Amino acid sequence: MSKYVIIGNGVAAAGCIEGIRSADKESEITVISAEKHPVYSRPLISYYLEGKTTLEKMNYRSLDFYDKNNTELIYATAEKIDAKKGEVTFDGKKTTFDKLCLATGSSPFIPKMNGLENVKSKFTFMTMDDSLALEKALKKDSRVLIIGAGLIGLKCAEGILGRVGSVTVCDLADRVLSSILDSECADVMQKHLESKGIKFLLSDSAESFEKNKAKMKSGETVEFDILVLAVGVRANVQLAKDAGAEVNRGIIIGTKMQTTLENVYAAGDCTEGFDSSAGANRVLAILPNAYMQGYCAGVNMAGGESSITNAIPMNSIGFFGLHCTSAGSYFAKGEGEIYEEKICGGIKRLYIKDDRLTGYIIIGDVTGAGIYTRLIREKTDLSGVNVDELKKDATLAIFLPETRRKMLGGVV
Amino acid sequence: MKRVYVNEQWCLGCHLCEYNCAFANSGLTDMVKALKDKPIYPRVHIEQSGDITYAVSCRHCKDPLCVKSCIAGAINKQDGIVKIDKNKCVGCLTCVLVCPYGAVRPGPTGVAQKCELCLENSCGEPACVKGCPNNAIVYEER
């Protein structure tokens, strides 16, 4: 019998519980959760504000999930880890572990901005409680200023647009969704968002705030009733760092999700793992990654064998009915072939280099996109493949008949 | 368990599987009412490359990426069948992003859909297989 402790209660923790239980049905699992909710689907907080889901449907697992998995859920904040002794301190109490998983997630990053303390109605947008707090402040005529045109800022904008007077989004970057889109694709998405009524101030930042006013670097003044801070997120690494684990932008993990501390694993947005499309370590703060890392950590904690070596950045995100999928890494013009096609209502760009698809972005009809994602994840050699056909349509036609026979005629 | 398998060499590219699938999942009893003059959203689709055609539908993978990746926890695997909970799905299409076969697609309401083997609709067994005139799709143990 072992004793497992998981700090954090998001999707990585759920994956970890399921990973442990795939190999060990008996031993005790304790989850220490700072948020006072059972595991919920964090990316749905904007869908909730938009009325496309309910608090109940946001439960990531059924309500008997913890009981069924013989897991104790404690609502408390973990304060300290002693890896040598195998002890976690929370709310002044202590619990012991044989194996520990850190699934501490990330937190909104708020840069120092002059006068921010004068703004009464300000919110971040990471958690269910953030979303509920923001909802209370929304009024039909509210003017909302969102700092940050990334995934969080824009999903928030979409979620509240129909419930407020106006939404303005500013970002230091020269384009929207700069972490996942290149300039050409960002332009398409920005125009779409503008057509729905969102206003943008790009390559611009707030220099100072008064109670209801932001003075922008460009000289413009934006008046607002509600301020949403969605500049970015930072991995929650402090606990791990204080315990002596190696930490960079995230907690450093190996392919088995082990940290540099014995018996301590980490998974999800708090980690920095290997991005196989870029060949470098990165914080891959995406939900699929969180689940898979959590599961992998759990299997290893329970004495099984699991590793992840092919993680890549990938995103599927839609705004007002226009979908966008993207994956892998992009490169600058001239370093390889960039295929571009204007498709109905959108755009498709494929990045091809050394007979490999390294990255892609599709805005519009994303049917079959998973095949492109697969080619990146598996680093499929495209020499000898009808690349023209591949560029036009993502289908299984590019594979050899015998490969396809295994895919569609075999157990996979 | 029994799954849908494709015999590529027998496929005529007639697309009947798509129509039978769309009808079986329409909830209607009249095929004309279900399909005529309407965009159809089948859960099996024919791909064509030159003279080659073949049907593609969910493989009900042993280790399904869609289940692990769903941001709403709306996809799960029960008794070997990968299923989407339509009530929980918000239509983000992360499953489309990750499905290595291109077998998950958005349905008429924007919610994702895929082959669930017709076990819960009026057909009771895969309609694509039942209607295939040339045994190019079969439902069996392998």
Q: List, for residues A356-372, the tens digit of each pLDDT value.
A: 999 999 999 999 999 99
What is d(CA A295, CA A304) in angstroms, rounded to the nearest whole number?
11
Interface test mutation site (partner A, options B2, B45, B69, max chain A beta carbons within 10 A): B69
Q: What is the pLDDT of residue A384?
A: 87
CB contact under 8 A, B100 and A15: no
Q: Please give the Cα distance from A292 to A12 (Å, whole number).
A: 7
Residue B77 belongs to domain with CATH number:
3.30.70.20
Closest CA in chain A for residue B105? A367
- Residue at A309 is within a domain: no
Nearest residue to A371 (alpha-carbon basis) of A398, A346, A344, A409: A398
**Is residue B141 one of the residues assigned to a domain?**
no
Whether residue A408 lies within 8 A of chain B, CB to CB, comes out as yes
Give me the residues paired with residue A348 across strands: A341, A362
Low-confidence ranges of chain A (pLDDT < 50): none
Read off the pLDDT of residues A136-190 as tens digits, 9 standing for 90 and up.
999 999 999 999 999 999 999 999 999 999 999 999 999 999 999 999 999 999 9
> Both A70 and A135 in a single domain?
no
> Do B36 and B71 share a domain, yes or no?
no
A366 in contact with chain B, both atoms CB, cutoff 8 A: yes
- Number of structural domains chain B divides into: 2
Contacts of A253 by beta carbon, 8 Å cutoff, 6+ apart: A259, A265, A266, A267, A271, A272, A273, A293
Of A43, A369, A394, the CB nearest to B71: A43
Expressed as residue numbers, the domain containing A395 is 321-409
CA distance A109 to chain B (A): 23
For residues A274 and A380, membership in a common domain is answered with no
Q: Do A409 and B98 touch (CB under 8 A)?
A: no
Distance between B79 CA and the closest CA of chain A, angstroms: 15
- pLDDT reported for residue B122: 83
Looking at the fold, whether A100 and A247 belong to one and the same domain comes out as yes
pLDDT in tens, B83-121: 999 999 999 999 999 999 999 999 999 999 999 999 988
Say which of A15, A41, A371 has its CB closest to residue B102: A371
Contact B49 A323 (CB under 8 A): no
| CATH code, domain with A244 | 3.50.50.60
A205 shares a domain with A344: no
Instruction: Give the Cβ contact number of residue A219 at 10 Å.
Output: 8
- Would you state the pLDDT for residue A216? 97
Q: The domain containing residue B26 runs over which residues?
A: 1-57+122-136
Size of the A and B interface in Cβ pairs below 8 Å:
127
Q: Which residues of B touch A50 (CB under 8 A)?
A: none
* CATH number, position A400: 3.30.390.30
Asked if A310 has any chain B CB less than 8 Å from its own CB, the reply is no
pTM: 0.96
Rounded to whole angstroms, how far apart are CA atoms A292 and A276?
15
Quick one: B95 and B110 in the same domain? yes
Asked if residue B69 and residue B48 are part of one domain, the reply reads no
pLDDT at B123: 87
- CB contact (8 A) between residue B102 and residue A325: no
Yes or no: say if A295 and A275 are a contact pair by the CB < 8 Å rule. no
A240 assigned to some structural domain: yes
Are A369 and B142 an interchain contact pair (Cβ–Cβ within 8 Å)? no
Of A15, A287, A395, the CB nearest to B71: A287
> Number of structural domains, chain A?
3
Dihedral sign computed on CA atoms, order A318, A167, A35, A235: positive
Give A401's Cβ-side CA count (13 Å radius). 10
**Whole-number pLDDT of residue A189:** 98
Predicted pLDDT of residue A345: 87
Mind telling me how many Å the CA of A152 is from chain B's nearest CA?
14
Mutate which of A16, A316, A386 to disrupt the B interface (most B C-beta within 10 Å)? A316
Chain B contact set for A401 (CB, 8 A): 8, 52
